[in-house]
Amino acid sequence: MKPKAKRDYLKVFDFSKDEFLYIIKRSKNLKKSKESSNYPLFGKNVGMIFEKPSTRTRVSFEVSVYQLGGHAIYLSPKELQLCRGETIGDTAKVLSRYLDAMVIRTFSHKTLEEFSAYADIPVINALTDLHHPCQAAADILTIFEKKGRLEGIKVAYIGDGNNVANSLIEACALTGLKIDVATPEGYEPLEESVKKARSCTEVNIFNNPFQAVQDADVIYTDVWLSMGEEGKIEKREKFKDFQVNSNLLKYAKADAIVMHCLPAHRGEEITDEVIDGPQSVVFDQAENRLHTSKAILEFLLTL
């Protein structure tokens, strides 16, 4: 029998429309069942390298592997030979002989692609500078749960055109959601993601948040300054008119939900009144990271 070809999840567009929708539906079923009865990852070991801080991604993946019957191994970048000059390729080749999959959070997306090129096991992107595909899967699951459908839904993303925005755009494309993005001039999302997404759905880019939220079913935001950008005071100044607050919500649909991938810088990109308000689904969204992580692992390692 011909062995199954290795599959990675480095960006949302690594999955087809049918595959991504399967992930969403499977996540919903896994959430409903709470526990897996057949432990599909029994005997499998998943390595985890995190070069950046993580709460939701790391914990959700460790718990996911455990609940699916596998074993998660955290590999500190400071303790691997990578910190002493071993190449990414050599590291990937060796770890492929020990492990069944790798979950990696790193700075440069090119680093992740290089690791994947040398690895013989599935590699999952736990966040890079360009993409955050695991977050996007949880986002779509949350919208599906709260709205009961994906067809005809409009998402308004307000803020930095960063990794979260890029992956959200790709996820909307695969699921048919319309998305309007509002960023300050010069902070638009990745052109490659936008161009490909437009072949599947409607994507509009604005420099005015009030334009983007018109008739929106979902309002989504993220921090203005990503990890490593905390000292960029001039960037924060450019985003001061892009805050998600009660005034902005008035321009969306009355039953619009508010989303944030967390962590939030309260009082900057979003106010306490909104993130803690009745339209916020932020913490349900965070919980869904667990269920989509399980579906992604199961898909890549067993199907």
Q: Count CA atoms closer than 13 A to 114's CA, side-chain side.
A: 12
Task: Find the DSSP H helices in 250-281.
Answer: 272-275
List 56, 58, 131, 289, catalytic entry: 289
As a whole number of angstroms, the distance between CA 63 and CA 293 comes to 9
Q: What is the DSSP string of 182-219?
A: E--TT-PPPHHHHHHHTTTS-EEEES-HHHHTTT-SEE
User: CA 156 to CA 133: how far, in whole Å?
Assistant: 18
Catalytic residue among 100, 129, 180, 222: 222
Residue 295 parent element (H or E): helix 282-302
Among 56, 58, 131, 132, which one carries the catalytic annotation? 132
- Residue appearing with tokens 């069942």: 33
Q: Would residue 261 show up in a list of annotated catalytic residues for this protein?
A: yes
Residues 6+ apart with CB under 8 A from 89: 114, 117, 118
Residue of 26, 160, 261, 279 marked catalytic: 261
211 annotated active-site = no
Side chain identity at residue 64, one-letter code = S
| Active-site residue, 289 included | yes
Distance CA 33, CA 67 (A): 12
- In the set 26, 56, 58, 105, the catalytic residue is 105
| 132 classed as catalytic | yes
Coil vs helix vs strand at 164: helix
Q: Which of 67, 135, 279, 285 is catalytic?
A: 135
Q: In the chain, what's the furthest Cα-to-Cα distance?
A: 61
Q: What share of the chain is helix, strand, coil (3-state, %, to 5)?
A: 45, 15, 40
Q: Tell me the catalytic residues.
A: 105, 132, 135, 222, 261, 289
